[in-house]
Amino acid sequence: MSEDSSSALLTDHYELTMLQGALHSGAAERRSVFEMFARRLPEGRRYGVVAGTGRFLDLLERFRFGSAELDFLSDHGVVDEHTLDWLARFRFSGDIWGYGEGEAYFPGSPILVVEATFAEAVILETLALSVFNHDSAIASAASRMAVAAGDRPLIEMGSRRTQERAAVAAARAAYVAGFSTSSNLEAGRTHGVPTGGTAAHAFTLLHDSEQHAFKAQLESMGTGTTLLVDTFDVERAVRHAVEIAGTDLGAVRIDSGDLAAHAGRVRTQLDELGATNTRVVVTGDLDEHSIQALAVAPVDGYGVGTSLVTGSGAPTVSLVYKLVARARGLDPHTPLEPVAKRSVGKPSRGGRKWALRRLDDRGTAVAEEVYDHEPTPEVGTRPMLQPLVRGGEIVGQENVHAARDRHRAAVDELPEQALRMSRGDVALPTLFH
């Protein structure tokens, strides 16, 4: 994906028809606040993880209606001439605040707050939701896997089980949430995620024998490589691996069968062969629960694919982007008035919000506090919203490593019950003031 390609058509048709209607009525220029939040966490999760901020800011920079985009909209009669003129001139000039990427969030946490004219804020809805719903779903699942894995490294290898560009975003989100490496090369290039990978069964099957394959891999990649030992017979493969590589072999990988049993036998066999430093890596339909179950097995690393890129049962986290306040007039000093839909089943809370995380005196988070006014900072609280865009200028861009560090700190701060794998209550109450 070229760096300068426009992101503007990654947008629902109705955002632009709403824009057209609002330009017609004159309300398009009303100062408005949209907020992104989740009404609930999926799958009985105890916390969610904000991810996608860095990608959203990149895409916001490329949210421009150039001639290619305008021609499409014009040729297909999506909007009228007046709206096309507005889009041609569009540059986001408002303000955006958000939870830092990698932060934990809870139901009602205002993880993104966009203040701009209605016109400027409404057309960002689809792109913002696409990015945060996907990336936060992956990061929320990945974070639990990282908790389950403890100090053992996690390898992201799910590219083949999700759309090819979603795979790049998933690799990035997993890294933010604690994975060590990814198989995805584009995630390496675009986002600086460390990549790794050695060989599949096809490599063994291609050669005349498993020994031939091992020999080729070791000669070409060095003794530190990881040999895949379950193509035919694991015990024989491990014996051959150490015969050919010597006791400095980096690692062996097991991809099928009863991973705990295999890992135990392979560890014993490696130790008996003197390969006491050779690591045992397991892969194959792992998720946070099977990783946790393998905690007692002699495993040195986990490769996770499908369950990671599909959010382990929650491929989206149902974030919504709602108009919560707008000025009734066009004067920039007209006060913002709270607005909220009143239909059944989907409660919304009107009005602009601010959030603090409250900590006890040991530094453990105890509550998510959400205010309808800017609260005075006090000891034992941490303000959650930070400036991302000021007057149209992006001020909150950071690299993926900073988000990863923030995530680790955010998880360390959570109460112990947040880290349980079972379904349960949300770890922190959200208190509205």
Residues 64-103 within binding reach of a copy of itself (CB under 8 A): 68-69, 72-73, 76, 78, 80
Write the interaction track for a copy of itself spanning residues 220-239; mark x where CB under 8 A is met and - where it is not: xx--------xxxx------
CB 390 within 8 A of CB 95: yes
- 43 versus 360: smaller Cβ distance to a copy of itself: 43
Q: Which residues pair with 48 in a beta bridge?
A: 105
31: helix, strand or coil:
strand
Binding positions for a copy of itself, 274-333, rule CB under 8 A: 306, 309-310, 315-316, 318, 321-323, 326, 328
- What b/e string do you get for 51-67 counting C-beta neighbours within 10 Å, with b at 16 or more? bbbbbbbbbbebbbbee
DSSP string, 220-253: HH-TTSEEE--SS-HHHHHHHHHHHH-TT--EEE
Among 81, 344, 376, 423, interactor with a copy of itself by CB under 8 A: 344
Give 21 or 264: the residue with its C-beta nearer to a copy of itself.
21
Least CB distance from residue 367 to a copy of itself, whole Å? 29
Residue 249 near residue 242, CB atoms below 8 Å: yes
The answer to whether the beta carbons of residues 254 and 263 sit under 8 Å apart is: yes
Q: According to CB under 8 A, which residues from 184 to 213 bind a copy of itself?
A: 184-186, 188-189, 195-203, 205-208, 212-213
From residue 18 to residue 47, the character string flagging contacts with a copy of itself as x (rule: CB under 8 A) and all else as - is x-xxxxxx-x--x-x-x-------------
Q: Which one of the spans 108-116, 144-152, 342-350, 371-379 is the region binding a copy of itself (CB under 8 A)?
A: 342-350
Specify the stretch interacting with a copy of itself by CB under 8 A; choose among 4-12, 105-113, 365-373, 385-393: 4-12
The CA distance from 93 to 390, in Å, is 8
String marking each residue 107-146 x if it binds a copy of itself according to CB under 8 A = -----------x---x--xxx-xxx-xxx-----------
Give the rounded distance of the alpha carbon of 7 from its chain centre.
19
Element housing 95 (H / E): strand 95-99
User: 132 to each of 121, 261, 318, 348, 407, how far by Cα in Å?
Assistant: 16, 39, 10, 19, 15
Contact (CB, 8 A) for 184 and 308: no
Q: Which is nearer to a copy of itself, 230 or 368 (CB)?
A: 230
Pairing outcome for strands 112-117 and 31-38: antiparallel
Scanning residues 238 to 277, which ones bind a copy of itself (CB under 8 A)? 255-258
Cβ closest to a copy of itself, residue 34 vs residue 106: 34
Residue 398 CA to residue 98 CA, distance in Å, equals: 13
Range 373-402, binding a copy of itself (CB under 8 A): none
Find the binder of a copy of itself among 38, 142, 167, 410 (CB under 8 A).
Answer: 167
Kindly tell me which residue out of 10, 295, 330, 409 binds a copy of itself, with binding defined by CB under 8 A.
Answer: 10
